[in-house]
Structure 1
Amino acid sequence: MNNNQMPPDFKKYDFTMASLLKENTLTRYRTCILQNIENLKKDRLYYSTPINFNDPFDTLLYANYFRILDDVAENLNIGMENYLKCLKEKDKFLASFGIAMWYGNKKDDFLESFFQSIHNAAKELKESLRNNARIICFSEDYLSMLMWSHYADNHKGFAIIYDRDAIANADNFTADNTVIKKKPLLRPVNYVEQQIDLTEELEEYVRAYRMKTLGDVTPPQCHLSVEKLRTTLLEKSQDWSYEREWRVIPRHINLENSSNLSYMKVRPKAVILGAQCERNNQKEIIDICRKRKISVYKTEINYWEPGFKLVVIEPNPNI
């Protein structure tokens, strides 16, 4: 059967028109839960916290704990003697306690406790970006079989098509509906072999902000830049490259505090129903799109050609 002899139930959509879906657009895959349908009505896209993403490495700061602890131990051995001498002039009682700990039989206990606190601080920092950043994810591909399966409830959901420039220029809001003046950043994800190594930067951060002194060794200047944190937000394993992902990320990233980004408002360019979207959900979404003059299409399994492909068709007008 050729394309001119397709069954009437599978009228193939005009791909000269469907190409408009690809032109400078990004796709957001959605399940047909009430919240997602309500957000479609309101033109809202809510930010997510990376700690809830399905990739455990996503936005996870990498640091080598063992190297950090080795450096800390070296600094302690270099500076502790002079530190205790200086402390003796300020607080004899505290100095005598420190001397007893450092030179006595409690040194191992002291070091274990100290190293544990360093370890906990570094671990907390590694997780902080995943807890405090806010991200909205998109894809360049609106016909990805895997994306429809993973993020649109096994093709039972829908996909929203947005103009890329509209996303970049959209208004963003806090949870109390205050407009955020400075726009967040829209950037493509880079797929890499390994994570960026921030061992040195996290050690500096712990030294500078979590532990002001190690003996009398001066805390180093911290070089954990916003640019390096952005890199962490925008790099993923090559295993995820099929997603062809873009992200909206905070312009300013703070490890100690959560981003105040809550949602953005941007009008969709089109909506595509999944190949297995249930009839009642199809009807509700089509009604929303028709009332709001948003183009609506549907994916369908390509029954008339081999190749495991989805095609875009016109939705059933009788739904």
Structure 2
Amino acid sequence: MILFKYRSIEFPNNDETFSENFLRDVKCLLFDQIWFSSLKALNDPFEGVFKFDRSISKMMKGFKKDLDTNKIERAKDNYLQLLKDNSGILSLTTDNQNLLMWSHYTNNQKGYCIEYDFEEEKFLYANKIKNNKNDISLKKVLYSDNYVRTNILNNDYQLIFGNKSRCWSYEKEFRFISKNIGLHKFQNGCLKAIYLGADCDFVNETLISSIAYLKGAKVYKAKLFKDKFKLYFLPYDLDALNKNINCKNFVQQAININLENN
């Protein structure tokens, strides 16, 4: 499935050429890694909210009078809170031309957008062993005006991670949900293309393009139409770039790493 990830580029406050966060991100591109965030780190304060549907509890109470449904609900609530605190979320989108997301998530076109071909089985542990499918799953985000409802019989805990306010619907979001927060490895070849923002700094885009060349991915540069609110993308000549600067040497020097040992 083709999905996109928008990334911003922070500029260093010192004499360094690249910021620490940007260097971390380009190393992830280079070594087939991606970050799964905690719910608390996401930009929506309503992440993971839910409401108990107590009609099921009342129905079960009718069948068994001595059933302590309040205790079961508290246990379910504690379990869901524990999952919310420990689960990792990778937010992606099907749209790489959304002007709002280019503004919000790429520092006003100074960043870039990554194209991946992702499925659950494309993710690997750092030791190259395939994840169990229960460990990472893909979910399409649903948008509504109300909190998602759960009950004491509902085992789909991922439901609470994939429901957002309708005002976010423009993001067309898909989410990978993991039982772990932090870096996750994925199979080589999932990185398909990188789209550079219209105002991406020349040195930054040279580093990104050089890494794309090494990974066998394509690069495009965003341009603004002169007569309508829309972007178009021009292909980058990566072969010409490599002839001019030697992409491997440039990457090694830029991020101070020896690629022969990785």
The alignment's TM-score, normalised by the length of structure 1, stands at 0.58
Counterparts of 1:261 and 1:291 in 2: how far apart (Å)? 25
Between Structure 1 and Structure 2, the one with more strand by share is 2
Match of 2:110 among 136, 139, 156: 156
Match of 1:137 among 91, 98, 121: 91
Match for 2:186: what amino acid?
Answer: K
Over the aligned positions, Cα root-mean-square deviation in angstroms equals 3.3
1:125 positional shift: 5.6
CA contact (8 A) 1:299 1:312 kept: yes
Gaps of 5+ in 2: 10-21, 59-64, 67-73, 245-262
1:62 positional shift: 3.0
Gaps of 5+ in 1: 1-23, 72-77, 80-119, 202-222, 251-257
2:142 corresponds in structure 1 to: 190
- 1:125–1:182 distance in 2 versus 1, CA, 3 Å: closer
Counterparts of 2:88 and 2:130 in 1: how far apart (Å)? 14
- Structure 1 counterpart SS, 2:232: strand
Counterparts of 1:282 and 1:31 in 2: how far apart (Å)? 12
The 5-angstrom pairing of residues 215-234 of structure 1 reads: 223-225=153-155, 227=156, 229-234=157-162
CA contact (8 A) 1:49 1:132 kept: yes
Match of 1:238 among 161, 166, 170: 166
Counterparts of 1:37 and 1:274 in 2: how far apart (Å)? 16
Give the percent of matched residue pairs that are identical in Structure 1 and Structure 2.
28
Counterparts of 1:30 and 1:230 in 2: how far apart (Å)? 25
* Pair 1:311 & 2:232 matched: yes
The 5-angstrom pairing of residues 1-319 of structure 1 reads: 24-32=1-9, 33-63=22-52, 127-164=81-118, 167-173=119-125, 177=127, 179-183=129-133, 184-198=136-150, 200-201=151-152, 223-225=153-155, 227=156, 229-250=157-178, 259=180, 262-266=183-187, 267=189, 268-303=191-226, 305=227, 307-315=228-236
Counterparts of 1:126 and 1:158 in 2: how far apart (Å)? 35
CA contact (8 A) 1:50 1:59 kept: yes
CA contact (8 A) 1:234 1:247 kept: yes
CA contact (8 A) 1:300 1:312 kept: yes
The alignment's TM-score, normalised by the length of structure 2, stands at 0.70
Counterparts of 2:213 and 2:128 in 1: how far apart (Å)? 30
Computing the radius of gyration over CA atoms, which structure comes out larger, 1 or 2? 1
Between Structure 1 and Structure 2, the one with more helix by share is 1
